[in-house]
Amino acid sequence: MNIYKNDVKQTPLFGVHIEYKGKMVPFAGYSLPVQYTGVIAEHKAVRTAAGMFDVSHMGEIMFSGVDALPNLQKIFTNDFSGIPDGKIRYSLMCNDDGGVIDDVLVYKYSPEKYLVVVNASNREKDFAWIKSRLSGDAVAEDISDGIAQIALQGPNSRDILLKLTQKGMIPEKYYTFRDEVEVGGVKCMVSQTGYTGELGYELYADAPMAVALWRALYDAGREYGLVPAGLGARDTLRLEAGMPLYGHEMDETVTPFEADLGFGVNMSKGDFIGKAALERRGDPNRIRVGLRVTGRGIARENETVYMGGEEIGRTTSGTLCPYIDYPAAMASLDAERSAAGTKVEIDIRGRLVTAEVVPLPFYSRKK
Amino acid sequence: MNTPHDLLYSKTHEWVRETGEGEAYIGITDYAQHELGDLVFVNLPEPGEEATAGERIADVESVKAVSDVICPLSGTVKEANSSAADSPENINSDPYGTWLVLLERITGREELLSAGDYAIFCEKEG
């Protein structure tokens, strides 16, 4: 019996998720596991050992051509000039009003070849936008359907990779990558990146090799406490690590500065789409902050935040963070009332619950 | 899925254990705890609150979501189980041993299912 709607796609690892008893849910057009054994156990495994996630739903757009760099410089907010091959940079892609179309990672293969990794839910929108703004001798190609991606995250992730590949082939610095790495016999591109706040890697392979790669990682990782982890833990881990999620902390009505993502914008490089609007808009009136819930309750997204009876903003994400073991939220607050230590109340389904602005991230790993 | 035969069940996945003295314990079923996943927070009523059959009496939260607990009976809250609030994970590990609310002065009820009918109902829910 096929209980999935026809418009819900499967990743190359769908069969593996069923085999591992994943609880499947539709997400960004794909059927993906929200959990296998439980969100809390999976979350803690990533913090203390290792977890593996199917993130094949992510989109990949390849930029190539002699004018690839000037196009990236125009379409994205960060500066990609002068970065070495094998380096990765976080960036936003803004509209003409300075609103965020998406947040992306840009991988530099060579001066004429870059891979841009985009959010699954924005893939078609991003590709259409990029094509409409592309100029000169440059090609953008959506290669997402041919690529599987597995995120291996956690303090033991490096030891697991070492069992499957040569030491010199593992990217040893954060936000760097190595191409043509054999991992358990599967040719991959491996980056030291992730969405959990832990040491971790993301492995990109041809879609038909996804199952072999998954099994190689799982078999190698079991002695290191590796568990498969689902979308639920992915969300609680990124929130605990203070990382924004498109559609929650930002969207096309929010600027990078309002989302406190100024590190992904270089205002001193040449012109780029949205720059004039960002200059015109100046310092943000609202800003993303972290909230630690001090009263009894769990804040969720889109709840009103008050200070002294006055509405000062809304939550954008919230949950009980399993490792730090307290309820935490991110919120967009009036910038003048966003300093750490500010005492606020959150309307949690009709009850006012106390909370305090705290610096992000809620959790950072010991290095 | 575990559905003890000495309990009655609602279609919204609560169980009822009647004491025979006009009182009843209410909790959520094994099916419910499994669907919700790891529970991390429980919001319970105060003793003396009036409960109405078919309306919210408590809520339970997993890391992902909040769910209402619908009271299958009308009556008065005699006691709320503070140990369930202190350790919501006990609802996952022992859903039928971890009651949420004890009702007294029961005046009405929703249609309740036997264990066998409830098990069939859950099968259909998929």
Which ipTM did the prediction report? 0.79
Whole-number percent of chain A with pLDDT over 90: 96
Look at residue B93 and tell me whether its pLDDT is greater than 80.
Answer: yes
* Contact at CB, B64 and A34, closer than 8 angstroms: yes
Candidates B34, B44, B64, B69, partner chain A, best to mutate (most A CBs within 10 A): B64
- What is the DSSP pairing of strand A177-183 with strand A113-118? unpaired
pLDDT for residue B124: 87
B40 reaches A (C-beta below 8 A): yes
Looking at every residue in chain A, the average pLDDT score rounds to 96
Cis amide leading into A361 (omega within 30)? yes
Look at residue B82 and tell me whether its pLDDT is greater than 50.
Answer: yes
Look at residue A268 and tell me whether its pLDDT is greater than 60.
Answer: yes
Of A2-6, A98-102, A176-180, where does mean pLDDT reach its minimum? Answer: A2-6
Domain contains B72: yes
B120 Rama sector, left if φ>0, alpha if ψ -120 to 50, beta otherwise:
alpha
Total domains in chain B come to 1
B120 reaches A (C-beta below 8 A): no
A200-211 pLDDT, tens per residue? 999 999 999 999
pLDDT for residue A167: 86
Residue B101: give its domain's CATH number.
2.40.50.100
pLDDT for residue B20: 82
A11-55 pLDDT, tens per residue? 999 999 999 999 999 999 999 999 999 999 999 999 999 999 999
B70/B50 Cα distance (integer angstroms): 13
Q: Contacts of residue B61 in chain A, CB cutoff 8 Å?
A: 298, 320
pLDDT band at A137 (very low <50, low <70, confident <90, very high): very high
pLDDT band at A6 (very low <50, low <70, confident <90, very high): low
Domain that holds residue B93: 8-125
pLDDT for residue B107: 92
Strand residue runs (E) in A73-195: 88-94, 100-110, 113-118, 139-142, 147-153, 177-183, 186-191
Q: Contacts of residue B37 in chain A, CB cutoff 8 Å?
A: 23, 34-35, 38-39, 232
pLDDT band at A1 (very low <50, low <70, confident <90, very high): very low
Look at residue A5 and tell me whether its pLDDT is greater than 50.
Answer: no
pLDDT for residue A3: 42
pLDDT for residue B126: 64
Domain contains B43: yes
Q: What's the mean pLDDT in A146-160?
A: 98
* Contact at CB, B41 and A297, closer than 8 angstroms: yes
pLDDT for residue A207: 98
pLDDT band at A145 (very low <50, low <70, confident <90, very high): very high
Q: What's the mean pLDDT in A114-136?
A: 97
Domain contains B118: yes
**Residue A231 belongs to what H/E stretch?**
helix A231-240
B64 reaches A (C-beta below 8 A): yes
Of A3, A23, A39, which has the smallest distance from its Cβ to B63's Cβ?
A39
Name residue, tokens 């808009």: A281
* Contact at CB, B40 and A40, closer than 8 angstroms: yes
* Contact at CB, A298 and B40, closer than 8 angstroms: yes
Domain contains B1: no
CA nearest B40 in A: which residue?
A320
Q: What's the mean pLDDT in B6-10?
A: 96
Of B43, B63, B126, which has the smallest distance from its Cβ to A319's Cβ?
B63
Domain contains B2: no
Domain contains B99: yes
Domain contains B3: no
Contact by Cβ (8 Å): A164, A220? yes
pLDDT for residue A14: 97
Of A40, A235, A327, which has the smallest distance from its Cβ to B38's Cβ?
A40
Domain contains B68: yes
Q: How far is the alpha carbon of A68 from chain B, nearest alpha carbon, in Å?
A: 41
pLDDT for residue B110: 87
pLDDT for residue B23: 95
Q: How far is the alpha carbon of B111 from chain A, nearest alpha carbon, in Å?
A: 28
Q: What's the mean pLDDT in A94-117?
A: 98
